Amino acid sequence: MKKVGSGRLRLSNLQIVAIGYFCVCMIGTILLLLPISAVKGNTTLLQAIFTAVSACCVTGLVLVDTSTHWTLFGQLVIMILIQIGGLGFMTIGMRFMLLVRRRISLREREVMVESINAYQLGGIIRLTQEIVTGTLIVEGIGAALLAIRFIPEFGLTKGLFYSVFHAVSAFCNAGFDLMGIKEPFCSLVPYANDFLINFTVMALIIIGGIGFFIWEDLYKHGLQWKRYYLHTKVVLATTGILIFGGALLFFIFERSATGAEMPMKERMVSALFQSVTCRTAGFNTIDTGSMSEGSKLLSILLMFIGGSPGSTAGGIKTTTCAAFVLYMISGVRREGSATVFGRSLMPDALGRAISIFTINLGVVLIGALILCALQPFSGIDAMFEVFSAMGTVGLSTGITRQLTAASAGVITLVMFLGRVGSVSLASALLEKKAKPPVTLPTEKIIIG
């Protein structure tokens, strides 16, 4: 009897996640290929695959304009793919966090034993329920706020659908929009000076991209900073620095580019929006292609960092970025361990941070080099496109529609790797070490 058990096909978490998302992408592709999905009834296989992967991986890069190419049915398929993608990644992320919690120090364990038990009793079903409920509440509020503008503009039915679609897309950090009816591929540019739309979308992006773990901590401990987990403190601090630091730099870089003819207030809001959307939402209120070169570089950097773990966002994550900086500081100060907010980071965070960083950087650099070899794009545009795909951002300087089939294939693969690969890698890295430590003799090499 034992033999049957060990003879079963055993899949690692990594494989389960990858296969699951691959199947969702395939079903999405088939649905989008149906004649009822497209207005003109014809969609190429490449367009369907690219759109399905982009939606399911909540990336938001598009080969065809979402509002004019797809019918209402097609748009519903895209919205559902986005919601599955977004929720799926949050749920998976949350499960890994539970794994982490189970292996924290004794002292910490005492503090949070209650919340662990709650999850252990209710199990994964209850956890998923909580995430789904939270998501629907936030998306509902967001849709209601957007409806204030969209119903007067588009009428009740269309306005309502537009509100829901954009709320889902913003919360899931997907970046798909239906504003192409105004001007193809214009994203939220027509609403650049509508502060209600701007701040609603930003709020949805930030809440979706900060991770369920933070919501829970804030919900439990309110504004009592000292009672937050270290993880919450690091995420909040890093997110704040990235958003406001990024906004300040965009404000400076765009002073003589897209911001040249804007009134001051609008310039400030659009700089803030650009900073929020770069990690990793992918809406835009200014034309990405006409941004200054400095802004493009900064965007690439922010796209690479991305959102926070266990959220709908992509990238190497705010905590990885923070870990790099904290370890650097501890190295320069010649301290034995990286410390922040009166705590030391667990040493194994270092190895995980290097693994995730190196793989992400490796994929984007190889991708950008391949793209440059395939088509004569400017280096910064090629980097922008690949970093956008890997960080599941969905911003583009406009070269997405010029991609040949081969290049589009590369971008599709990078989108899949950026989302599914990163999540399953993070999962694999968090699991208990399967192999015993290697006992080879150690030897120094000289670094730097």
Question: 76, 252, 271, 99: which is closest to 178 by C-alpha?
Answer: 76
Which partner from the list K ion, a copy of itself, none does 282 bind, CB cut-off 5 to 8 Å by kind? K ion
Residue 418 touching K ion (CB under 5 A): no
Q: What is the DSSP letter of 340?
A: E
Assess contact for 240 and 213: CB atoms under 8 A.
no
Question: 376, 354, 357: which is closest to 365 by C-alpha?
Answer: 357
Helix 379-390 with 348-374: angle, nearest 10 deg = 130
Closer to a copy of itself at the Cβ: 6 or 442?
442
Q: Enumerate residues 375-394 that contact K ion by CB under 5 A.
A: 394
Q: What are the tokens at 306?
A: 């991305």
Quote the least distance from Cβ 74 to K ion, whole Å. Answer: 19
Closer to K ion at the Cβ: 259 or 282?
282
Quote the least distance from Cβ 316 to a copy of itself, whole Å. Answer: 7
Which partner from the list a copy of itself, K ion, none does 394 bind, CB cut-off 5 to 8 Å by kind? K ion
Residue 86 touching K ion (CB under 5 A): no
Residue 307 touching K ion (CB under 5 A): no
Which partner from the list K ion, a copy of itself, none does 356 bind, CB cut-off 5 to 8 Å by kind? a copy of itself
Q: Which stretch binds K ion (CB under 5 A): 169-177, 261-269, 339-347, 436-444?
A: 169-177
Assess contact for 66 and 394: CB atoms under 8 A.
no
Quote the least distance from Cβ 423 to a copy of itself, whole Å. Answer: 9
d(CA 175, CA 277): 8
Which partner from the list a copy of itself, K ion, none does 346 bind, CB cut-off 5 to 8 Å by kind? a copy of itself
Closer to K ion at the Cβ: 173 or 360?
173
Quote the least distance from Cβ 446 to K ion, whole Å. Answer: 21
Other C-beta atoms closer than 10 Å to the C-beta of 140 total 13
Closer to a copy of itself at the Cβ: 166 or 317?
317
C-alpha 284, offset from chain centre: 15
Closer to a copy of itself at the Cβ: 226 or 444?
444
d(CA 273, CA 270): 5
Q: Which stretch binds K ion (CB under 5 A): 170-178, 200-208, 322-330, 418-426?
A: 170-178
Closer to K ion at the Cβ: 101 or 296?
296
Q: What are the tokens at 166?
A: 């954009």
Quote the least distance from Cβ 143 to a copy of itself, whole Å. Answer: 30
Residue 74 touching K ion (CB under 5 A): no
Query: Which residues, listed in sequence order, are joined to residue 328 by a DSSP beta bridge?
Result: none
Quote the least distance from Cβ 5 to K ion, whole Å. Answer: 41
Q: Enumerate residues 44-63 that contact K ion by CB under 5 A.
A: 60
d(CA 348, CA 327): 12
Quote the least distance from Cβ 354 to a copy of itself, whole Å. Answer: 5
Assess contact for 37 and 77: CB atoms under 8 A.
yes
Closer to K ion at the Cβ: 138 or 262?
138
Which partner from the list K ion, a copy of itself, none does 95 bind, CB cut-off 5 to 8 Å by kind? none
Which partner from the list a copy of itself, K ion, none does 387 bind, CB cut-off 5 to 8 Å by kind? none
Question: 170, 177, 174: which is closest to 141 by C-alpha?
Answer: 170
d(CA 198, CA 277): 11
Assess contact for 419 and 392: CB atoms under 8 A.
yes
Quote the least distance from Cβ 387 to K ion, whole Å. Answer: 12
Which partner from the list K ion, a copy of itself, none does 175 bind, CB cut-off 5 to 8 Å by kind? K ion
Question: 295, 245, 234, 303: which is closest to 272 by C-alpha?
Answer: 245
Q: What are the tokens at 407?
A: 């290049």
Q: Enumerate residues 223-282 that contact K ion by CB under 5 A.
A: 282
Q: How far is CA 389 from CA 57, 282, 301, 375, in A?
A: 10, 10, 13, 17
Q: Could you list the residues that contact K ion (CB under 5 A)?
A: 60, 173, 175, 282, 394
